[in-house]
Every structure is written in structure tokens, then in C-alpha cells.
Amino acid sequence: MNAEERLTTLRAFPSEVAERAFVVGDPKRAEFAAGFLENAREVGNHREYITFTGEYKGKQITITSHGVGAAGASVAFHQLFQAGVRTIIRGGTAGGLKAGLIVATGAIRTDGTSDNLVPLAYPALAHYQVVQSLRDAAVDNGYADPTTGIMLTRSYLYPGVIKEPWKMWFDSGVVGVEMELALLLVMAGVRGVRAGGVFAADGALADEHVANTTDEAGYDPYDEDLVKNTRAMVRIALDALAIL
């Protein structure tokens, strides 16, 4: 790609995108994360995609919001890879059995998009160096033993008429539920890009009423502990990118 041409949707020049990237769903969270950077500047802003680049602990890092859901997020991921991103971490909130921090080792692919790119037999795996760096950064930030394991990436937020088999998922070792990670890991994997994910979990699925019905009333995005863990998650992701 000509370095003088803007990325069609992110509206940033490829030369303004660093090799290390942190991606989040919420544009406001991207702005919050950019506050940790030195010499941060907005390099792209279009629709739900807002992009900043700056320095963190001596490393150039780009932060981009990708919106909600894998289909829209695929646009951001694709264009970041076009621009030369070689290491990428997704940060977000997740449903889980235990409140706190989750470092993902991989994801189950019910995202509704990645199966259009590669067969479902292709695994969605986090890069081992990203996993270790996230765990090291979590320990440095006061999370002595972060939950580590497989996420469930699903294509919808609200439940339908078919009850979600939460017990089956968690009995099988799933540690959290979110909406975009599996796609990122697949897209990164086929390109040889290091990728991973870190999440603030709400612990709502430990509530039998929430876990065993289609009612998600137990989820509160403004819960004090969830907000605290989300802020820590941002710093942990940036610390991990600086290590890598």
C-alpha cells in the first residue's frame, strides 16, 4: 500500500500506525487508554473506529477502537494488519464465573465471522509470548494469579429463545465470554502476527439465576469492581506490549 494513502475505514496513514497495537471495543475506552501514552495523537477517526498513536515506556503503540461484534471488528483488524501491525492485544470486559482479570489462551469460535475466512477446524490461539507477557504484567500490577484459559467468543450479546448451555461451557474449562477475540486470533494466526487478549470479568455467571436462564439482568457494566479491573486491564495490556 502507498504510504501516502489513508486506510480506507480507519482513516489513518499506515506510517502513523505502530507495529504494536492495543484494540478495544469502546471509542471512549480507546481515549482513556491513549491517556497513558506520551505524545499521544489522534491519527484516525471514522464511525466507531478511533485511532491514537503515541509512546509507552519507550515503545510506539497504536490504540484503536473496533466497536461491538466480530464483523465490524474485522475491518479494524484487517486494516491494522495492512498497516504493518505485528503484535496486537485485545482488551475488554467479559462475562465470567469469577470477578477479576482473565488472560486468554485461546477462544471458541462462535463469533459468526471467522468461519467465512478459514474452516472452523482452524484453532483460535493466543501467541504464547503474549500470554506470558500479559501474565507478567498482571503480576506487576497486583494480580498475583490471574485467571488464564479459553474464552467463548459468541456473535450476539442478548440471549434468544434457546437457553445458553453455560454449565457445559464452564464445565469444559471456558473462563469467560466475549464477542471479538476468536476472530482476532484467527486473523492474526494466518498472518503470523502475535495476538492475545486480556479481560476484566464481572463474575455475573456465578449467579445461578443469570447462568441458568436467558435473563442477563445480573450484568452491570458500572459495577465498582468491574470498573476498577477494567482500568487495570488497560495498563496491563500496555505494559505487556512494552515488554514484547
Is residue 103 within 8 Å of residue 146, measured between CB atoms?
yes
Contacts of 60 (CB under 8 A, 6+ apart): 18, 19, 20, 53, 54
Report d(CA 32, CA 58) in Å as an integer: 19
Digit-coded pLDDT (tens) for 157-187? 877 777 777 778 888 899 999 999 999 999 9
Domains identified in the chain and CATH numbers: 14-243 (3.40.50.1580)
For 181-220, the DSSP string reads: HHHHHHHHHHHT-EEEEEEEE--GGGSHHHHTSS--TT--
**Does 108 or 215 have the greater pLDDT score?**
108
Its pTM stands at 0.93
Mean pLDDT across 1-16: 86
Digit-coded pLDDT (tens) for 98-137? 889 999 999 999 999 999 999 999 999 999 999 999 999 9
224: pLDDT confidence band, cut at 50, 70 and 90? confident
Report d(CA 135, CA 4) in Å as an integer: 38
Runs of H (alpha helix) within 35-176? 70-82, 128-140, 166-171
Long-range contacts for 207-212 (Cβ within 8 Å, ≥24 apart)?
A: 211/166, 211/167, 212/163, 212/166, 212/167
In total, the chain counts a number of residues equal to 244
Digit-coded pLDDT (tens) for 21-42? 999 999 999 999 999 999 999 9
Q: Cell numbers of 185, please? A: 486470533
